Amino acid sequence: MILPWLILIPFIGGLLCWQGERFGNTLPRWIALLTMGLLFGLGLWLWATADFALAPAPGAELAWAAEFKVQWIERLGISIHLGLDGLSVLMIALTGLLGVLSVLCSWNEIQNRVGFFHLNLMWILGGVVGVFLAIDLFLFFFFWEMMLVPMYFLIALWGHSGSKGHSRINAATKFFIFTQASGLIMLVAILALVLINYNATGMLTFNYEDLLKTDLPAGTEYVLMLGFFAAFAVKFPVVPVHSWLPDAHAQAPTAGSVDLAGILLKTAAYGLMRFAIPLFPNASAEFAPIAMWLGVFAIAYGAFLSFAQTDIKRLVAYSSVSHMGFVLIAIYSGSQIALQGAVVQMMAHGLSAAALFILCGQLYERLHTRDMREMGGIWARLPWLPAVSLFFAAAALGLPGTGNFVGEFLILIGSFPAAPWVVVLAACGLVLGSVYSLAMIHRAYFGPAKSDAPLQALKARELYMVLGLAVLLILLGVYPQPVLDTSAASMHGVQQWFSGALTQLASVR
Amino acid sequence: MELTTQHFIALLPLLVTCTTIVVVMLAIAWKRNHAMAFVLSVLGLNLALLSVIPAVGVTPIQVTPLLLIDKFACYYMALVLAATLACTTLIHAYLGGESGKQGYPGNREELYLLILLSAAGGLVLVSAQHLAGLFIGLELLSVPTFGMIAYAFFNKRSLEAGIKYMVLSAAGSAFLLFGMALLYAESGSLSFAGIGAKLAADGLPSLIAQVGMGMMLIGLAFKLSLVPFHLWTPDVYEGAPAPVAAFLATASKVAVFAVLLRLYQLSPVTTGGWLNDLLTVLAIASILFGNLLALLQSNLKRLLGYSSIAHFGYLLIALIASKGLAEEAIGVYLATYLLTSLGAFGVITLMSTPYSGRDADALYEYRGLFWRRPYLTAVLTVMMLSLAGIPLTAGFIGKFYVIAAGVESQQWLLLGALVLGSAVGVYYYLRVMVTMFLAEPNLKRHDAPFNWGQRAGGIMLLVVALLAFFLGVYPQPLLELVQQAALVAVAP
């Protein structure tokens, strides 16, 4: 019974925030903080108590650590069907944590329409939790599309007006159109899958478990897989369709960037692991080389463009493209070690990218610019912030001792047997990662100062937010075992689906 | 043919509407009173709507060779009547209060008469199973709308729109009649099922029959404003008073589409011919041109006009699919489209209320509306999201159904156009939406009255918005209803 509450809590909390605005600007913030705290607490409690040896795997009845099902639209065989396994609980805990942080980091930044802002923030997170829990394809699509609207508002109404030709409304609209159009392609694929299943069995259903048993002809399977991949690739983002990401990040308010980089990108990786591979294992195995090379390309391309940016938020945004490339390689490598590495990498990137965006936001509140050409010499003018930034830049380049290192290491070592050349090139991408990370630190914090005026020191709230993230990132780096244990069964299931198809493919060739 | 009580019960919605027309006319002749005309019309429409329920009980029944009252007809009758009812409340708000000091300067009462007449035409149209019934219904639906569009005749735009619509509508009717004549010449029958049976007996339909059907399609395409027969739409929507535009976009189009569906299903001249290709071209052109031209508009009524062109392009996908889910998809889509358009035009109407020369239809007039009328903004936001087909709104369910129908009959090309069109469409719907939330400029020409929510029009609007939201979250009741409302073919 707790699963629907995980989704409802943010939605209800959002409505309360909206109405709470009548009593001043502080009340909505506290309601939002409480809501997110509750979500985070529930996520942790589930993580601590549920049994994550239960996870979907091919062959048998699907097992879930927790499940919830009620009829919704009987005419079409649609039900509100939620399921929790190790992968989803990790993502939900991450969502809760970043939710708390995004409320905290907007405490001073957002000063107008506070209630409506938090309504949107809460609804994004509610939609994301829905995506992580839904195991009915209609419900999944429902949440997938629904989280776009509040995100659109967040960017369009509270975003920063950018430089020439980069207005926040354009950025928000671009984000919306990219994701909406690709989502419709996925909807067509979902419906095709459902109708093929209906023609074969005479049962109209959108249930994940039933659709897994659909027998698909090879060509059809490939096309449907591409339909799903299109939607996930845009959110991921895979390089040819990534262009909305830097714009959206650059114009979004800090909380928007934190959610976008920290969680929304992860919904795409989650979708590939939960739906695209298990539903279409054979086509995915056939497609794997292409996907992996796309990943390598994203790593290099993201890193190069990141280095070329002058806007610090765009720099971090392109670095996300680069980091998610590793996750893409891991998902299509079909090795359990790599898949588990991908989960760690998702968590670590969620934490480190969120921290970097929060730091960018703090810098912006003090300097009122994101242009690194206007910065320089901040190390002398401001205590703490540059040092913390240096830590997270080091984490982003994969320094041992941080979660990012564990993730990237596991991904590379796991994928090597499957695709040695891909891994060799991806590993070279790590070098590029250190180039842009250090370049960012150098340009922003060192060098000659533009002004000598001391900047306002970090407040306790701002400092503890980023320090807390740093502690978590180190914890994940030195003791990733709890995360690995939790995701083991789920990733084992994905790996079985995939490797079964791989061996079949090999025998055909 | 002998008429029994059963036949009268089946005809009840139409009879009640016609009685209302006579009563309203007599009331106006007796004493001009805006409130009385309004109350009588609303009362009559409500009774007509209620009388659909007993009519369902006796379906399917053939009343004269012209009309067939089945559940399909009842469902669309209910839609037409509900839309007319909503438009009537909007008209009341739009024309203005009792005092006569503010609001519409001319005679107000006749507009109710015209809209009731038009609704009666819609009722005939959705139950027509005979080409004569179709033509009578269509003309009864269209002719009063000429008057309604040009009702603000002292406004140049309104008059121009009325004349434009009249000329083009007459051209459309000419096409329609010519097509009918050709079909009759070929098949020797005027009833839908009769034509279908005759042509099916011949095997592949002859060229004359196909041309006849094609000309009828063109005639109906005029009314549905499908590209390339759409040229009148934006001008007429812009010129017509806002509640009349709402009626044109909803009741009128829904009725025409219903009869098109019945014609298409019962007399399948199109099988194996080039007519399906023609329809495909019309659909793709409507989706793409409708959406692309809407991008350029800065006038909300014109924008909605183009968007309705695109929406009927989406509907054609289901019509072309024409099997399996298609009929249901059309029923669901039309219901959601009706709700959404009523909501959108309703907001425009309330913004232009009471009448003051020109409607508030320029997009800049909606800038910062959120800070002045938050709930009205919420209504329009829901409507825009629904038109764009975003989850949590009724429009999503409609679009979902149309895509399902398209996938089922494997119309990949049309689905591609739909995805492309929706992506373009999102842009202008979002533009309208975000405009309302932007910072407020200093000019304020038009605004809805403060107490808009307490008037009939406002209450109707809130109900529509709640319904659009409710059906987006829990569409099951609507789906069941539509599933019941299947077409019935009666032997000729």
- B383 vs A contacts (CB less than 8 Å): none
**Weakest-pLDDT range from A379-383, B166-170, B362-366:** A379-383
Position B492 confidence tier, pLDDT thresholds 50, 70, 90: very low
Chosen from A74, A175, A180 to mutate, greatest number of chain B CBs within 10 A: A180
pLDDT attached to residue B1:
66
Distance CA B105, CA A108 (A): 53
Classify A311 as helix, strand or coil. strand
CB contact under 8 A, B423 and A180: yes
Measured CA to CA in angstroms, residue B181 lies from B176, B188, B191, B216 at distances of 9, 10, 13, 10
A131 contact B CB<8A: no
Classify A394 as helix, strand or coil. helix
Q: Kindly tell me the burial class for residue B3, based on how many C-beta atoms sit within 10 Å of its own C-beta (0-12, 13-18, 19 or more).
A: exposed
Measured CA to CA in angstroms, residue A33 lies from A27, A30, A39, B296, B369 at distances of 10, 5, 10, 43, 29
Compute the Cα dihedral for A331, A335, A340, A345 and give only its sign. Answer: negative
**B18 found inside a domain:** yes
> Among partner residues B407, B420, B479, which is closest to A195 by beta-carbon distance?
B407
pLDDT of A502 strictly over 90 = no
Residue found under tokens 């695109």:
B310
Radius of gyration in angstroms for the set of CA atoms belonging to chain B, rounded to a whole number: 21
> Among partner residues A75, A146, A184, which is closest to B480 by beta-carbon distance?
A75
- B385 vs A contacts (CB less than 8 Å): 149
Position B203 confidence tier, pLDDT thresholds 50, 70, 90: confident
Distance CA A61, CA A213 (A): 11
Triad B411, B417, B421: Cα angle to 5°: 145
Q: Which of A414, A403, A426, A420 is nearest to A337 (CA)?
A: A414
**B492 found inside a domain:** no
Task: For B261-310, write each residue's pLDDT tens digit.
Answer: 988 888 765 665 678 888 899 999 999 999 999 998 889 999 999 999 99
Other CB atoms within 10 A of residue B357 CB: 9
**B187 found inside a domain:** yes
- B434 vs A contacts (CB less than 8 Å): 152, 156-157, 169, 172
- Chain B: residues touching A (Cβ < 8 Å): 385, 388, 390-392, 396, 400, 403-404, 406-408, 415, 418-420, 422-423, 426-427, 430-431, 434, 437, 474-476, 479-480, 483
> Among partner residues A74, A152, A185, which is closest to B476 by beta-carbon distance?
A74
Radius of gyration in angstroms for the set of CA atoms belonging to chain A, rounded to a whole number: 22
Question: Structure tokens of A281?
Answer: 């294992």
Task: For A294-317, write each residue's pLDDT tens digit.
Answer: 999 999 999 999 999 888 899 999
Average pLDDT, chain B: 88
CB contact under 8 A, B474 and A72: yes
Residue of B nearest to A139 (CA): B391
Residue of B nearest to A169 (CA): B434
Residue of B nearest to A146 (CA): B391
Please give the average per-residue pLDDT across B371-397, as a whole number. Answer: 90
- B391 vs A contacts (CB less than 8 Å): 141-143, 145-146
Distance CA B178, CA A60 (A): 65
CA atoms within 13 A on the CB side of B71: 13
Residue A345, phi-psi category: left (phi > 0), alpha (psi -120 to 50), beta (remainder): alpha
Length of chain B: 492
**B285 found inside a domain:** yes
Position B443 confidence tier, pLDDT thresholds 50, 70, 90: low
Task: For B80-116, write each residue's pLDDT tens digit.
Answer: 999 999 999 999 888 876 555 577 888 888 999 999 9
Distance CA A481, CA A340 (A): 11
Please give the average per-residue pLDDT across B328-352, as a whole number. Answer: 92
pLDDT attached to residue A234:
93
Task: For B114-154, write each residue's pLDDT tens digit.
Answer: 999 999 999 999 999 999 999 999 999 999 999 999 988 88
What is residue B365's DSSP assignment? G
Residue of A nearest to B392 (CA): A146
Distance CA B5, CA B3 (A): 7
Domain of residue B398: give its range.
Answer: 5-484
Q: Which of B250, B268, B265, B14 is nearest to B133 (CA)?
A: B14
- What's the domain count of chain B? 1
Triad B193, B315, B218: Cα angle to 5°: 60
**B215 found inside a domain:** yes
Contact A153, A66 (CB under 8 A): no
**B367 found inside a domain:** yes
Question: Structure tokens of A400?
Answer: 């041992």
H/E run at residue B418: helix B412-437
Task: For A101-141, write each residue's pLDDT tens digit.
Answer: 999 998 888 888 889 999 999 999 999 999 999 999 999 99
Contact A186, A142 (CB under 8 A): no
Contact A130, A264 (CB under 8 A): no
Compute the Cα dihedral for A437, A443, A444, A447 and give only its sign. Answer: positive
Contact A413, A365 (CB under 8 A): no
pLDDT of B454 strictly over 70 = no
Q: Which residue has the higher pLDDT, A57 or A164?
A: A57
Contact A327, A269 (CB under 8 A): yes
**B32 found inside a domain:** yes
CB contact under 8 A, B407 and A172: no
Task: For B21-66, write each residue's pLDDT tens digit.
Answer: 999 999 999 998 888 999 999 999 999 999 999 999 887 888 888 9
Average pLDDT, chain A: 90
Contact A33, A146 (CB under 8 A): no
CB contact under 8 A, A191 and B419: no
Q: Which of A215, A187, A201 is nearest to A280 (CA)?
A: A215
pLDDT attached to residue A383:
82
Task: For A254-305, write each residue's pLDDT tens digit.
Answer: 999 999 988 999 999 999 999 999 999 999 999 999 999 999 999 999 999 9
Contact A326, A338 (CB under 8 A): no
DSSP string covering B375-413, please?
Answer: HHHHHHHHHHHHHHT-TTSHHHHHHHHHHHHHHHTT-HH
> Among partner residues B408, B431, B475, which is closest to A195 by beta-carbon distance?
B408
Compute the Cα dihedral for A92, A93, A98, A100 and give only its sign. Answer: positive
Task: Identify residue A271 by its one-letter amino acid code.
Answer: G
Task: For A353-396, write each residue's pLDDT tens digit.
Answer: 999 999 999 988 888 888 888 887 788 788 888 899 999 999 98
pLDDT attached to residue A169:
87
Residue of B nearest to A185 (CA): B419
What is residue B445's DSSP assignment? -
Residue of A nearest to B406 (CA): A188
Beta bridge partners of A134: A82
Please give the average per-residue pLDDT across A163-184, as a whole number. Answer: 84
pLDDT attached to residue B452:
66
Question: Structure tokens of B462?
Answer: 């809130």
Distance CA A182, CA A193 (A): 17
From the centroid of its chain, how far is CA B164?
Answer: 19
Distance CA B315, CA B402 (A): 7
- Range list of H helices, B96-241: 110-127, 131-149, 156-187, 192-201, 207-224, 232-239
Question: Structure tokens of B309?
Answer: 């062109």
pLDDT of B490 strictly over 60 = no
Contact B383, B347 (CB under 8 A): yes
φ and ψ of A371, to 5 deg: -80, 120
Measured CA to CA in angstroms, residue B198 lies from A194, B114, B173, B188, B415 at distances of 38, 39, 25, 8, 33
